[in-house]
Structure formats: C-alpha cells, structure tokens
Amino acid sequence: MPRPRPLAVLLLAFAAPGCTRSAPSPVAFEVVRVAPAVGDGAEPLLLNDSLTVYFSDSVQQLSVTPESVVLVDERGHRVPGSLRAGSNWVTFLPIVPIAPDLGDGSFRPGATYRLTLVGAPRPDALRASDGRRLAGPRAFDVKIAPRDHRAPGLVAPLRPVAEDLPFVVRPVNVPQVVAADSPRLRLHFTLPVLPASVATNAFDVRFAPNGERIRPRSVRVVRSRADEFDGSTVEIDLGALPGLEGTWLSVVVVPDSGLVDYAGRPPLPSGTEYWSVVPGSSIALAEWPSAEETTFADDDVLAPCFEVRSGIVRPRVRVEAGDGSLGLFRPQRDTTLRAGVPFDRGDGRQVVSTGNSFPFSAIDVPARVRVVVDAASGPVQLLACGGVRIAGEVEIVGGAARVDVRPFRSVAVSELLASANVAIVAGGDVRVEGAVGSRDANIGGGSPLTIAAAGCMHLGGALPFNTLLAFEEGNPRAISGPSGQVLRTPTTFTYGAAPGLDLVVRGYSGWRLVPVDRDAGVIRLSGADRDLLVGWQVASPDPLRAGRPDVPATGLARPQRVADGDVLSVTPGGWVRVQLEARVTADSAPAVQDVRLVDR
C-alpha cells in the first residue's frame, strides 16, 4: 500500500512554473484623440470652435473640473469658457466674440493656448468611471486662426452654425415696449450676426405715426438668453430723442446693407417690428401687486400671510385675532374646549386657555373629527392669527347671546366680542366645509355663534340658525357660498399685532410672465422695510396648459434671496413670482409698497 504524499509536496507541485497565473494588469485610462486636431501641422481653431477630448473609457463626471481640465494663454492665465462631459468625452465650450474686432471671446485671434489634462499621480486627476486615474498628464498646444483667416466659405474666423436654417429676423409675437428716456431696440435673428457687418445704415427706424426716419446713435451685437445661438441679437440705441413718449417706433432691416451672418449671407426679407414708447428710463417686466391682488398667501392657506392694503403690502395681522400663543390647533381625535381645562392641541402637547380665550396661530378641524366648544359656564373666544378651516364637526354648548346689528352700520370687533357667547375670530380666511351646530334648540332672537374674519368667509357647510357673520368693512368679496339663515354686519378690526405676538409671516405673489425678448432684469423694492426678506422663484411655461407656469408635483426650488438693485437672470417667456417673509411682533410689521422687475 503506497504511503500518502506529504501536504508540502502537493503544494509545491501546484506551485510549479507551468501552473502559476498572475492577475491581469488593469488597462490604462488614456486619451484617444482631440477634435479638432491640435498641435504641429493641424489647422488652427476658429474663434467659436469647441474643443473635445475623447478617452479610452467612460469618464467619471465629478472628476471633470476647471482644475483637471485647464486651458491657459501664453501668460498662464486661465481662458474663460465652460466644460461639458459626456460618456467618454470632455468638451471645452468657448465664449463667442461679439465685438467688431472679435477680441472679446475666449479665443483671441492668432493666439496660442495650452490645454492640460491632469493625470496620475495627482489626486485631482481625470478619472474613468471605475475610479482609474488618467495614466499621466497630457498637454496640447492649441493654435487659433488669425483675424484675417479666410477659409473656403468663410468671411471671418468664425464657423457658421446650423446652415440649414434661414437667416432672418425672428418675429416677437408679443407687444414690445421701450423706455422714452433710454430707447434701445433689440432685433433677434435666427442665426449669429457677423459683428463687423453691423452698421447704422442696416436698419430703417421710423416714427410710426408720421414715418419720419430716425438715425440710430449706435448699433451693436449683444448677448441674450432669448437666442438659440449666442450673438444673434442686435441692439439699436436711439440716444436722447425728445417727443418719443406715447408714440410708436418701427424697424425694418435694409436689404443689401452689408449685414451678414458667419457664412456671409444677408438676411432674408422680413416684416416690420414695432415698439410702443412708454415714459421713464426703464421698462417694467413684472410688477407686484396687481390691481386685482389682495393677498400674498403662503402655500399653507391657514398660515398668517401678507395683504395689500391702502397700496402697501404688509402682514395681515389684527389685534383682536390674539397672540397665537397656543400654536396650531389641529386635533386628531374628538376634543372638548372648556375654559381653564387642559387639552391636546393635536400634536400631543397639552395646552390651556388664557381665561375664556383660546389664542391659536390657526385652527384646522379635520374631517371626521368632532370638537365641542363648551360655553355653558361663560363666553368662549376661539382666536386665530391666521385662518380657520372646519372640515369636521363643531358643536356649541351654551345659550345664545343677544345681538344688536343694524344694516349698513359698522360695529367694532371688540364690541361684538363683549356680547357674544361663542366667537370665532380670524386674522385670515374662514372656511366652513363641514358642520357647525348648537345643542340649544331655543335660540329665540339671539345668536349662538359670532364669526368675525379679516379675510374672506367661504361657506360650504352648515351653520347654526342666526349665526352672526362679521366681515371687515370694505371687503367686496367677504362672504361666498350658501350661508342659510344668518345675520350679517360689517365690522372694524384694529390693525397690528396683539401684545406678546411673535411669529414669522410668509406669502407668495401671483405669477408673472416674462417677455420672450428679455433674459434679465433688475429687482426694485419701493418703500421696503429693512427687516423684510424678499425671495425670487421661477418656473417654466406649462407645456400642456397654455398661459400657466409648470409647477412640478415635487415642488419648486427654494426661493432665492434678493435685495434692491440685484440683477436677476430670467428665462425668456418663463414665469416669476416673489416671496415675502417677515418676523412680526407687537412692535414690528415690515412692509413694502411694491416690487418690480425692470429691464435696467
């Protein structure tokens, strides 16, 4: 019987040279090519050419930064532009020149630049998607065509774009306005305009009423986000001209004037563009409040908001609505409110009334929840700094109070509270969607409930017989919906915050449509208090519902804080709105007269 072989001998056998295998070396992550070709013997880049580097594998997007892809001039200064990365490529996009001498773009005519791609061993190197660093640093010389470069089909060192598109003035299908004290007209072309071809004789500008011709002070190519291609807008500056206000101006492109695109083609004939001249030195692109705007409400309709009152946008607060010290009342189960007895306000916190008063920030009775207001032992007042919504059921226990209301006679809220048995007072709106009832069948000529609101009352549910609805004097839309057999009276609130009030008030304006020929504006705040915070929010047009902003279900981005004089980029033809926010106390209620977005 053979003896077993030792384990060491077996291991040595497996380790013999013919049986060993080493792990494969990782494939290097390298540059494959650069397009257009660069270096010795390559054709120079044109002033608007992008520069693309292709790699041997997919690129990790986060590794593409201005520190890993660097383009510098002869003095070592970084060249302005932007980077874009794809699956296995990275592109440098230059700024297109628009000055007549073509010297204001990323690339200067006749210059030479150095493109450096950072590789191993640096930690900030370009990386493949699996984490491999570029095998080593790579550098390329990039030569730019001189100003007098003339290749076939070119009239300047600029590459034509979208040659299948006609070169024509793009009509603006909205009313255009221009300020009388700063008359600058903008024409938008479908393709970039050759900057050196722009001259005053290329545009026929006239007073529309009498046809008198106006010679522009200057014309130039400008950048505009309203264009598909950079350099497609021409601005016509008319200078200081008396008698413009209230008139119309017309502009027609003069044929055979020398105006051309990058390919040397003149624009095709187009129609006449018109502008209405308005007073002032700037044009209002959007204004708040509008004549119909009465409130700047928060997304939470019950929260305290802003109102438009006497031409001023200010927090909607009323002394009689209380100090909100009990917070939000939103019960999750049946609850009884009785003066001096603790109760759960809806979030597990026990609170108690202040005397016979329940000062909430807002009141929200959900559906299928019953709230009993026990006024059997004395009057009860439910106060809300913001709004009131009753979607469930409210039952009043206690007798009716005698009321003395007369048509067209305004009564102070304080006077109504002094005589009411149960009162609901809101600094905002009141919405009754469920049912409010009273246990007392014998009401007589009295009223079991008084509802006083500084906002509007939206009635869609039941109210007790002879409920007294007290609406703020001067509110034309104070009560809507079927109200049944109720009493009504105008009332007067005391504007301001109750002693001890300290809360944050927020509100959004209505949306405004930005003109399609504008891509930026200056924010102007008239009469704004220092402690008022103003935010800015944008939305794209809704693709399915014309004339409305596209507000996604997941919500919009957080409003951007702005101050008076800030320059804001806007989406041409998009929507904008403002958010106001202020901390309100008994001593401070910040306000603003109006908010405007102007063109300059």
Q: Is residue 36 part of a domain?
A: yes
Q: Which long-range contacts (CB under 8 A, 24 or more apart) does 565-569 make?
A: 565/522, 565/523, 565/524, 566/522, 566/523, 567/520, 567/521, 567/522, 568/520, 568/521, 568/522, 568/523, 568/536, 568/597, 569/225, 569/519, 569/520
Q: What is the pLDDT of residues 521-561, one digit of tens each?
A: 899 999 999 999 999 999 888 888 878 898 887 778 889 99
142 near 114, Cβ under 8 Å?
Answer: yes
Regarding whether 518 and 446 lie in a shared domain, the answer is: no
Q: Are 468 and 511 found together in one domain? A: no
pTM strictly above 0.85: no
Q: Which residue has the higher pLDDT, 240 or 581?
A: 581
Name the average pLDDT for the chain: 89
452 shares its domain with 355: yes
- 455 and 348 share a domain? yes
Closest to 516 (Cα-Cα) out of 253, 15, 173:
173
Same domain, 390 and 461: yes
Together in a domain, 341 and 402: yes
Residues 414 and 383 in one domain: yes
Q: What are phi and psi of 371, to 5 degrees?
A: -115, 125
Structure tokens at 130: 């699996």
Q: Tens digits of per-residue pLDDT, 287-299? A: 999 988 999 999 8
Q: What is the pLDDT of residue 22?
A: 56
> Beta-strand (E) ranges in 144-216?
177-179, 184-188, 203-207, 213-214
Judge whether residue 416 has pLDDT over 80: yes
The position carrying tokens 């791609």 is: 117
Region 551-573 average pLDDT: 85
287 located within any domain: no
Q: Is residue 566 part of a domain?
A: yes
Domain annotation covers residue 581:
yes
Residue with tokens 């596209």: 550
Write out the H or E segment, with its range, that includes residue 11. Answer: helix 7-14
289 prior amide bond cis, ω within 30: yes
**Within a domain: residue 17?**
no
**pLDDT > 90 fraction of the chain, expressed in percent and rounded:** 67
Domain termination residue (choose one: 492, 523, 550): 492
pLDDT at 196 > cutoff 50: yes
User: β-pairing, 51-55 with 31-35?
Assistant: antiparallel
Query: By C-alpha distance, which of 150, 130, 506, 160 is closest to 307?
Result: 506
Q: Higher-confidence residue: 23 or 539?
A: 539
Q: 75 and 138: one domain?
A: yes
Distance (Å, whole) CA 389 – CA 434: 9
Q: For 245-259, what is each residue's pLDDT tens digit?
A: 888 999 999 999 999
> Number of folded domains in the chain?
4
Domain of 457 in residue numbering reads as 318-492
CA distances in angstroms from 332 to 343, 365, 535, listed in the order given: 12, 8, 34
Which of the residue ranges 308-312, 386-390, 590-594 would you say has the lowest mean pLDDT? 308-312
Q: Name the pLDDT band for 9 (thresholds 50, 70, 90).
A: very low
CB of 394 closer than 8 Å to CB of 417? no
* Mean pLDDT, rounded, for 437-458: 83
Radius of gyration of the chain (CA): 36
- Give the list of residues 6+ apart from residue 314 with CB closer than 8 angstroms, or none: 306, 307, 589, 590, 591, 592
Residue 448 resides in a domain: yes
Residue at 82 is within a domain: yes
Query: Mapping DSSP to helix (H, G, I), strand (E, B) and coil, where does residue 358 land?
Result: strand
Residue 305 in any domain: the answer is no
Do both 509 and 436 map to the same domain? no
* Sequence letter at residue 112: T
Q: Which of 436, 406, 425 is nearest to 471 (CA)?
A: 425
Same domain, 477 and 340: yes
Whether residues 510 and 546 share a domain: the answer is yes
CATH number of the domain at 181, please: 2.60.40.1220
- Confidence class of residue 358 from pLDDT cuts 50, 70 and 90? very high
- Considering the domain architecture, whether residues 187 and 135 belong to the same structural domain is answered as no
Q: What's the pLDDT band for 407 if we cut at 50, 70, 90? A: low
Task: Identify whether the C-beta of residue 45 lies closer than 8 Å to the C-beta of residue 36.
Answer: yes
The whole-number pLDDT of residue 241 equals 79
Give the whole-angstrom CA distance, residue 97 versus residue 594.
39
Mean pLDDT across 304-331: 95
